[in-house]
Amino acid sequence: MYGEPFGIPEPMETVFISWFQGGEVFRSGVTYKRGAGNVFYFRPGHEAYPTYFDANVRRVLKNAVKWAHNPAPRLTGVTDAPNVPINEALEPLEERGPRLHHDGEEGFR
């Protein structure tokens, strides 16, 4: 019931793995990137138990916030986004479909 597969991106790191009596395992703490952001997914337990009052869980949450924080100023305009060629993207991308602009063409501004 709680086992894999779990539909998330391939993690940079798997921090925690949970196991259940039926033999299922679940990646309950993973890190990954989305654009310029760091994401930490954490599943510490069920809401029916006082999990979030546990000092260890609170420490994990505090550390996760510190790790995920990006001090760079937020981009407010859509034209301010740093566009880079697909082969220079921070994460692997697969180009599919037709293109709006040819290589070297600036595009809409």
Residue 100 within any structural domain of the chain: no
Is residue 8 within 8 A of residue 30, CB to CB? The reply is yes
Mean pLDDT, residues 63-77:
84
Residue 18 within any structural domain of the chain: yes
Number of domains in the chain: 1
Whole-prediction pTM: 0.60
Domain with 32 in it? 13-68
Residue 88 within any structural domain of the chain: no
Residue 105 within any structural domain of the chain: no
Residue 52 within any structural domain of the chain: yes
Q: Rounded distance, CA 97 to CA 17, Å?
A: 38
Residue 82 within any structural domain of the chain: no
Residue 51 within any structural domain of the chain: yes
Strands, sheet with 25-34, edge to edge from the N-terminal-most edge strand: 13-19, 25-34, 37-42
pLDDT band at 46 (very low <50, low <70, confident <90, very high): confident
pLDDT band at 41 (very low <50, low <70, confident <90, very high): very high
Quick one: pLDDT at residue 81? Answer: 67
Quick one: pLDDT at residue 31? Answer: 95
Is residue 28 within 8 A of residue 11, CB to CB? The reply is no
Is 3 or 32 the better-scoring residue by pLDDT?
A: 32
Q: What is the mean pLDDT of the chain?
A: 82
Residue 94 within any structural domain of the chain: no
Quick one: pLDDT at residue 2? Answer: 60
